[in-house]
Amino acid sequence: MKDTVIIYVISDAIGETAQHLIRASTAQFTLEGGADIRRHAFVRDAETLIEILGEAKNADAIIVQTLVQKKLAVIASDYCAEHGLPCIDLVSNLTAAIEQKTGQKSKEDPGNMRRLDQHYFDRIAAIEFAVKYDDCKDPRGILEADIVLVGISRTSKTPLSSYLANQNYKVANVPLVPEIPIPTELTQIPRNRIIGLTNSPEKLAAIRKVRLKSIGLDETSSYSSENRILEELDYGYRIFKQLGCRVIEVEDKAIEETAALIIEKVK
């Protein structure tokens, strides 16, 4: 039984999509040697492709291809079939199905997805929005936001704002501090656009101590004390109730998982 696996990603673009999918799949296995992912991007001629396939054969690798040019995809599939290499084609079957449904032919243009279009410019605008309205620097952003995240310190508001901005959502976030009243703008928007974020006292204490240490401050500061954290959590829940917003517990959730929950609740 092997405790490691070699996977060749072959793409005529950058191969990023395949790499994400491979990581999701390999995470389901205990591979002591890990997954050795070897990405070959911008493969756009048969000679280069065959050379890479030869390397993969010598390495006894799995092939994952995202080749939109049919000629190259067929070469890769035929080579793998001939030499007994596992080959996963992430593009061809779906492309063929779309062609059949629409009656159109694929453009077979590897760079088409990456061209600058309105989606790209909207994403850049969303990222700029998230930076501008991070930590409630200007509460007027709350009125324009698609999503408003509220929560006490260290509940992942800023990382989530950045991640959601990359999904084209305009996000503002508001820190909840017992001594500071919430901005009136929070009461002027539909509650379904507001998401409350919370965490366990234990997790917050650990995160805050690390934060204090990283900036050279005393880890025993009131900021990380149990009493202060419980006070803030209690205040946070009172604000969530006042706003009538939905609440997500972020403890032990990856940013991607929490973001997916937020999008689901907002939609």
CA distances in angstroms from 16 to 12, 39, 86, 103, 242, listed in the order given? 11, 9, 20, 29, 43
Question: Please, is 242 exposed, middle or buried when counting C-beta atoms within 10 Å of its C-beta (0-12, 13-18, 19+)?
Answer: exposed
Q: Is the pLDDT of residue 1 over 70?
A: no
Please report the pLDDT score of residue 168 as a whole number. 94
Mean pLDDT computed over every residue of the chain = 92
Is residue 155 annotated as involved in ligand binding? Answer: yes
Q: Which pLDDT band holds residue 219 (cuts at 50, 70, 90)?
A: confident
Q: Which pLDDT band holds residue 46 (cuts at 50, 70, 90)?
A: very high
Is residue 151 annotated as involved in ligand binding? Answer: yes
Q: Which pLDDT band holds residue 119 (cuts at 50, 70, 90)?
A: confident
Its pTM surpasses 0.85: no
Q: Which pLDDT band holds residue 115 (cuts at 50, 70, 90)?
A: low
> Could you give the CA distance from residue 141 to residue 143 in angstroms, rounded to a whole number?
5
| Closest to 112 measured CA to CA, from 66, 170, 163 | 66
Please report the pLDDT score of residue 131 as a whole number. 95
Count the helices and strands in the chain (H runs, E runs): 10, 8
Residue ranges per domain, the chain? 4-114, 118-266
**What is the CATH code for 4-114?**
3.40.50.2300
Q: Is the pLDDT of residue 2 over 80?
A: no
Please report the pLDDT score of residue 6 as a whole number. 94
Here the tokens at position 133 are: 């309205």
**What is the percent of the chain where pLDDT is above 70?**
96
Mean pLDDT of 260-266: 94
Is residue 162 annotated as involved in ligand binding? Answer: no
Least confident residue range of 7-16, 70-79, 154-163, 168-177: 7-16
> Could you give the CA distance from residue 56 to residue 63 in angstroms, rounded to a whole number?
7
Please determine whether the domains at 4-114 and 118-266 fall in the same fold group of CATH.
yes
Is residue 152 annotated as involved in ligand binding? Answer: yes
Is residue 141 annotated as involved in ligand binding? Answer: no
Q: Which pLDDT band holds residue 116 (cuts at 50, 70, 90)?
A: low
Please report the pLDDT score of residue 267 as a whole number. 83
Mean pLDDT of 174-195: 97
Is residue 225 annotated as involved in ligand binding? Answer: no
> Could you give the CA distance from residue 139 to residue 251 in angstroms, rounded to a whole number?
27
Least confident residue range of 145-149, 209-213, 245-249: 209-213
Mean pLDDT of 60-84: 95
Please report the pLDDT score of residue 159 as a whole number. 95
Is residue 2 annotated as involved in ligand binding? Answer: no
Please report the pLDDT score of residue 215 as a whole number. 87
Is residue 156 annotated as involved in ligand binding? Answer: yes
Q: Which helix (H) or strand (E) holds 195?
A: strand 194-198
CATH number of this structure's domain 118-266, picked from the four choices 3.40.50, 1.10.287, 2.20.25, 1.10.3470: 3.40.50
